[in-house]
Amino acid sequence: MEWLRSLMLPPQGSQFAGEVDNVYMGLFWLCGVLFVGIAAAAIGFAWRYRYKPGRVTPHQTHNTTLEIVWTVIPLLLCVAIFFWGLNGWMKYAVAPGEAMEIQITAKKWLWQFEYPDGTRTANEIHVVLNKPVRFVMTSEDVLHDFFVPDMRVKHDIIPGRYTEVWFTPTVPGTHHVTCAEYCGKGHSDMQAKLVVDNEADFQKFMETGGTEWEDYKMKPAEWGRIQYERKGCSTCHSIDGSRIASGGPSWKGIWGKMEKMNDGKEVLVDADYVRESMMQPQAKIVAGYDPIMPTFQGLLREHEIQGLIAFIKSLGNNPNGGPPAPTVLSLPPKPAGASGASGTTGTK
């Protein structure tokens, strides 16, 4: 019956999944049998007792025994199902004491994660295989909901209070995190990646912010492209010149361009402007767009910012001329623990 389970339910990623799926499949079979019974009776009777002129129907007003039977049996079934569901839910409701605690701050439309050591990430979260993890969640604006289908957990995130959810990841790899409480136009773009690492990979991630950094020969622009996906920039900014409906300006061809702001001033898109746009997004708003970008202050490491700047630069100059783009990019700093080689440009 595994094929049937996997047809209806996502892959199992946590210790909850097995039990939830068992209840689901149990109910599926029970309800399936009941439905077939109802359908067979309704269609069967309509056929078996189809209209014949002059046939007299029996005057059956009621049958107390039968009616008690079909009241009591469903009641007993319901009591059993209630306790079956309660059993799994009790585990979901109480996190074990030794669980690692990760803070989640949700806002339109960004996931922000903070680890016990102060490390912060956006839209990507790493947890350790077979170690329970507890999320303490709050929202900066409206309701959101932390939903990880593979883990079979979900809980609303409420501004002004803390809610919790926990699980023990049992399958390594990447799982999908998705917002399940309607939060406006970017609701369906509020996605994050949950990566289940083994202990060693997790430590590496905590130190460097990404295992790709291992590849010291990576160009800053390539590194920036990874950040573009990972930090959620791609939710609102395209790189092909198209305008994302609920987002900001495309990055294609903006480098070195004089951009018109909503206060009428023109600003040169250079490294300082791009940096300011990430740290204080409300400082300057491009004309025709809404001031909706959240700040990335504290969410980006220095080398990540520089990678993003390099990436924007690589997307091309303004084709209509304008002043040449100043080259102010410095090399990314050496990653912690790495010596010798660094992510310099030009070498392959």
Partner 1 sequence: MANTLTSRGKIADHPRPEVNYLNASKGIWSWMTTVDHKRIGVMYLVGVLTAFLMGGIFALFVRLSLLNPKHMLFGKVLMSAETYNRVFTLHGVIMVFLFIIPSIPAALGNFVLPLMLGAKDVAFPRLNLASFYLWVIGAVMAVCGMIFGAIDTGWTFYTPYSTTTSGTVTLMVMAVFILGFSSIFTGINFVATVHKLRAPGMGWFDMPLFVWGIYSTAIIQVLATPVLGITLCLLALERVFSIGIFDPKLGGDPVLFQHFFWFYSHPAVYIMILPGMAIISELIPTFSRKTMFGYRAVAYSSVSLALLSFIVWGHHMFVAGQSQLATVIFSALTFLVAIPSGVKMFNWLGTMYKGNISLETPMLYAISFLLLFGIGGLTGIFLGTLSTDVHLTDTYFVVAHFHYVMMGGTVIAFIGGLHYWWPKMTGRMYNEKFGALGCVLVFIGFNMTFLTQFFLGSKGMPRRYYNYLDQYQPLHAFSTYGSWVIGLGMMITAVNLLASLRKPYDAPDNPWGGTTLEWKTSSPPIEHNFEEQPVLERAPYDYRPEPVAH
Looking at residues 154 to 173 of the shown chain, list those that interact with partner 1 (rule: CB under 8 A).
154-156, 158-161, 163
φ, ψ for residue 84, nearest 5 deg:
-60, -45
What is the nearest approach in angstroms of partner 1 to the Cβ of residue 226?
Answer: 21
Size of the site for partner 1 (CB under 8 A): 85
Cβ of residue 319: shortest distance to partner 1, in angstroms? 25
Find the binder of partner 1 among 2, 3, 61, 340 (CB under 8 A).
61
How would you class 108 by CB atoms within 10 Å of its CB: exposed for 0-12, middle for 13-18, buried for 19 or more?
A: buried
The single-letter code of the amino acid at 58 is P
Q: Does 141 bind partner 1 (CB under 8 A)?
A: yes
Among the candidate windows 58-66, 123-131, 200-208, 325-333, which touches partner 1 by CB under 8 A? Answer: 58-66
Q: State the Cα angle at 106 between 125 and 310, rounded to 5°.
A: 60
Contact call for residue 336 and partner 1 (CB under 8 A):
no
**Closest distance between partner 1 and the C-beta of residue 145, in Å?**
6
Phi first, then psi: give them for residue 54, nearest 5 degrees.
85, -10
Q: Closest approach of Cβ 172 to partner 1, in Å? A: 19
In the complex with partner 1, which residue's Cβ is closer, 158 or 206?
Answer: 158
| 348 near partner 1, rule: CB under 8 A | no
The least distance separating partner 1 from the CB of residue 11, rounded to whole angstroms, comes to 10
Does residue 201 bind partner 1 (CB under 8 A)?
Answer: no
Strand partners, 266: 260
The verdict on 65 binding partner 1 (CB under 8 A) reads no
Nearest to 298 by CA among 279, 323, 272, 275: 279
In sequence order, the 6+-apart residues with CB closer than 8 A to the CB of 190 are 106, 108, 109, 110, 111, 144, 178, 179, 183, 235
C-alpha separations of 136 from 75, 103, 158 in Å:
38, 5, 11
CB of 73 to partner 1, least distance (A): 9
State yes or no: residue 245 binds partner 1 (CB under 8 A).
Answer: yes
Candidates 106, 179, 196, 218: give the one binding partner 1 (CB under 8 A). 179
For partner 1, the closer of residues 10 and 172 by Cβ is 10
Determine the Cα–Cα distance for residues 15 and 88; give it in Å rounded to an integer: 11
Strand partners, 268: 258
Contacts (CB under 8 A) with partner 1, residues 291-320: none
> How far apart (Å, rounded) are the C-alpha atoms in residues 241 and 313?
14
Residue whose entry in the numeric block shows the structure tokens 């390099």: 310
- Give the contact letters, 18-57, x = binds to partner 1 (CB under 8 A), - = no: -xx--xx--x--xx--xx--xx-xxx-xx--xxxxx-xxx
Return phi, psi of residue 82, to 5°: -55, -50
Q: Supply the minimum distance, in Å, between the C-beta of residue 68 and partner 1.
A: 10
